[in-house]
Amino acid sequence: GAGVSQSPSNKVTEKGKDVELRCDPISGHTALYWYRQRLGQGLEFLIYFQGNSAPDKSGLPSDRFSAERTGESVSTLTIQRTQQEDSAVYLCASSSNGIGRRSLYEQYFGPGTRLTVT
Amino acid sequence: QQQVKQSPQSLIVQKGGISIINCAYENTAFDYFPWYQQFPGKGPALLIAIRPDVSEKKEGRFTISFNKSAKQFSLHIMDSQPGDSATYFCAASKGFSGGYNKLIFGAGTRLAVHP
């Protein structure tokens, strides 16, 4: 079946511009997570959605970052007034609250969006 | 604050050898410890995971060893193959008690298995 998809795969933008990154989770997955992966580093948690609400936004680095989710489907991460330090790969993951212990906790990751701010 | 420390940063192993990657954590509230494998240009994929009520879990050539008192866990890849060449991340979360699975990742280990 279809996995998590993200678009665009690559985005180059000028400092100060706004960008929108899109995530399409696996159909039926109620939980959705955004992570950021800087070059050569591990993933940093940004935000967690359960359905269309975000009970944990603690990882968003600044008020320039925001995210929303439509129902239990598409999510958009928006970065306003981009800075060079925002350059990273932004990864989205989804998981089910469904059947089986493993399925409850396994996060399926998309391929990421590589953002470069020049 | 880095809550999960991973070592080594990179590792070279000969085909057929054992690859060992170590992680240490600080937060004793963590109750779920997965390992992820990432190939270039792809998102991470779950490899194997363990809970702190067991000391070892094995799936095929992959084994997690867990030492609760030392707050350490490690991944062993037996009979390493060139196809295992990837970046490996350990992670930890309070998933079983926290109601959701916010993963805290280590910095990653780049493994190269030479033929």
Query: In whole angstroms, what is the distance from residue A85 CA to residue A104 CA?
Result: 34
- Inform me whether the C-beta atom of residue A94 falls under 8 Å from chain B C-beta atoms: no
pLDDT digits (tens, 9 = 90+) for B87-109: 999 999 887 666 788 899 999 99
Residue B77 has pLDDT above 70, yes or no: yes
Report CA Rg, chain A: 14
Reply yes or no: is the peptide bond before residue B44 cis, omega within 30 of 0: no
Half-sphere exposure of B74 toward its Cβ, with a 13 Å CA cutoff?
13
Q: Is A109 on the interface with B (CB under 8 A)?
A: yes
B100/A31 Cβ within 8 A: yes
Nearest CA to B75 out of B93, B57, B92 is that of B57
Q: What are the backbone angles phi and psi of residue A102, rounded to the nearest 5°?
A: -65, -40
Please give the average per-residue pLDDT across B67-96, as a whole number: 94
Mutation to test the A interface, candidates B90, B102, B109, most A Cβ within 10 Å: B102
Residue indicated by tokens 């070892």: B56
Residues of chain A with pLDDT under 70: 1, 97-104
Write out pLDDT tens, residues A74-90.
999 999 999 999 999 99
Compare CB distances from B104 to A45, A50, A56 and report the shortest one's residue. Answer: A45
Asked if A40 and B108 come within 8 Å (Cβ–Cβ), the reply is: yes
Closest-CA distance, B15 to chain A, in angstroms, reads 25
Question: Lowest-pLDDT range, A112-116, B20-24, B48-52, B61-65?
Answer: B48-52
- Partners of B104 on chain A (C-beta within 8 Å) are 45
Is B48 an interface residue toward A (CB < 8 Å)? no
Note whether A106 contacts B105, CB cutoff 8 Å: no
Contact by Cβ (8 Å): B7, B30: no
Of the candidates A59, A39, A45, the one whose C-alpha atom is nearest the C-alpha of residue B105 is A45
Percent of chain B with pLDDT over 90: 83
Q: What confidence score (pLDDT) does residue A102 get? A: 52
pLDDT of residue A1: 58
Residue B6 touches chain A, beta carbons under 8 Å: yes
Q: Smallest Cα–Cα separation from A111: which of A2, A7, A1?
A: A7
Q: Which residues fall within 8 angstroms of residue B115, CB to CB, at 6 or more apart?
A: B15, B82
Min CA distance, A1 vs chain B (Å)? Answer: 16
What's the pLDDT at A72?
A: 80
Q: Does residue A55 sit at the B interface (CB-CB below 8 Å)? A: yes
pLDDT at B80: 98
What single letter denotes the amino acid at residue A41? Q
Predicted pLDDT of residue A28: 87
pLDDT in tens, B27-50: 998 988 999 999 998 999 999 999
- B43 at the A interface (CB within 8 A)? yes
Residues of B in contact with A34 (CB under 8 A): none
